């Protein structure tokens, strides 16, 4: 196995608290083949850059860029990658020590040639001091063959949108022009749809490969960016990608696929709406979501669920 099998791409911006353990998890992989680690330092202003200098490993490739956001950093990493498959790792998260081997065994170990390999992952909830396991596409764990949008009746759209806990074939991404939209929030959403809708070759591993950390990031503040506009731009791009898949619009199960997509849209609107509840321009985002979801008959459900969730938050804060 002389060729580089995997490229681990790590976008880095001001993660001095976590980058050392993140990088160690990448370097200390138990994979028996060749792989590289690409770190794109996105203009960090804390001690992240100094921490990187502690590491001296031949697998490590460090690039220094001005601050341009995670989407730009991931796209830059894809261009520099020499591996057959790309694995994304956020700088505040870690990989299981057998992550690459799990991807390899699921795909190459069975002489398959998947475009995407999904895998289970752990969620570390620092604000609640616990950890849970999530298993995207679990119902297809023992499926014989490749998964795709049609033979799962759209169920692959229920996979996690984030780029991590997956392995993407680099040639597949390049040939289909699949890149991250350069936005400051939700940039992974159109990437996910573009990838899943353009392949008939998805596999799912059965072993967790990733530790995702949540509950530790600061709340979005008013400032340089209109966060609502950032998400709206990405939302519209994702919808464009979905609606442009004309070749399967005539399929018998299209209505089933569309229902899953619509439910995704509802959940995404609710996710960001709750995070914008303290922003001055949140009402513009709420209005956009209500209008967008009305085409699927989900506008009323959005407003009702948003009201209930905000009410629950208020009651919890008073207790």
285 φψ region: left (φ > 0), alpha (ψ -120 to 50), beta (else):
alpha
Whether 158 and 260 have beta carbons less than 8 Å apart is answered as yes
Q: Cα torsion for 108, 111, 113, 119, to the nearest 10°? A: -50
pLDDT-derived band at 246 (thresholds 50, 70, 90) equals low
pLDDT-derived band at 220 (thresholds 50, 70, 90) equals confident
pLDDT-derived band at 244 (thresholds 50, 70, 90) equals confident
Query: What percent of the chain is predicted at pLDDT more than 90?
Result: 77
What DSSP state is assigned to residue 155?
A: G
pLDDT of 110 above 70: no
pLDDT-derived band at 225 (thresholds 50, 70, 90) equals confident
Predicted local confidence at residue 68, as pLDDT: 92
List, for residues 128-169, the tens digit of each pLDDT value: 778 999 999 999 988 888 999 989 999 999 999 999 999 999
CA 272, distance to chain mean position in Å, is: 15
What DSSP state is assigned to residue 89?
A: -
- Whole-model pTM: value is 0.93
Average pLDDT in the 80-89 region?
98
Among the residue ranges 68-77, 125-134, 164-173, 188-197, the one predicted with the least confidence is: 125-134
Q: What mean pLDDT value characterizes the chain?
A: 91
Predicted local confidence at residue 289, as pLDDT: 97
Adjacent-strand bridge partners of 60: 37
Query: What percent of the chain is predicted at pLDDT more than 70?
Result: 93
> Of the ranges 191-195, 278-282, 313-317, which is most confident?
191-195
pLDDT of 297 above 70: yes
Whether 136 and 166 have beta carbons less than 8 Å apart is answered as no
């Amino acid at each position: 196995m002389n060729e580089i099998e995997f490229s681990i791409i790590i976008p880095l911006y001001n993660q001095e608290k976590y980058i050392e353990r993140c990088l160690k998890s990448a370097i200390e992989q138990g994979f028996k083949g060749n792989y590289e680690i690409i770190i794109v330092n996105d203009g960090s202003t804390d001690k992240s850059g100094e921490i990187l200098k502690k590491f001296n490993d031949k697998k490590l490739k460090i690039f220094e860029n001005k601050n341009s956001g995670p989407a730009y950093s991931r796209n830059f990493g894809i261009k520099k990658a020499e591996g057959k498959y790309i694995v994304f790792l956020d700088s505040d998260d870690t990989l299981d020590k057998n992550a690459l081997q799990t991807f390899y065994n699921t795909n190459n170990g069975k002489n398959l040639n998947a475009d995407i390999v999904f895998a289970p992952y752990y969620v570390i909830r620092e604000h609640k001091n616990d950890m849970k396991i999530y298993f995207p596409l679990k119902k297809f764990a023992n499926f014989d063959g490749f998964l795709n949008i049609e033979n799962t009746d759209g169920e692959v759209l229920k996979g996690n949108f984030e780029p991590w806990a997956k392995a993407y074939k680099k040639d597949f991404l390049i040939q289909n022009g699949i890149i991250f939209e350069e936005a400051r929030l939700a940039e992974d959403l159109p990437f996910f749809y573009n990838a899943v809708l353009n392949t008939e070759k998805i596999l799912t591993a059965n072993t967790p490969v990733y530790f995702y950390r949540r509950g530790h990031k600061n709340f979005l503040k008013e400032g340089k960016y209109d966060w609502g506009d950032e998400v709206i731009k990405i939302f519209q791009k994702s919808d464009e990608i979905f609606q442009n898949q004309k070749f399967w619009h005539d399929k018998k199960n299209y209505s089933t696929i569309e229902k899953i997509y619509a439910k995704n849209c509802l959940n995404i609107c609710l996710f960001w709406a709750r995070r914008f509840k303290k922003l001055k321009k949140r009402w513009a985002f709420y209005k956009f979501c209500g209008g967008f979801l009305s085409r699927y008959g989900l506008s009323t459900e959005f407003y009702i669920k948003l009201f209930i969730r905000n009410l629950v938050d208020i009651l919890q804060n008073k207790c």
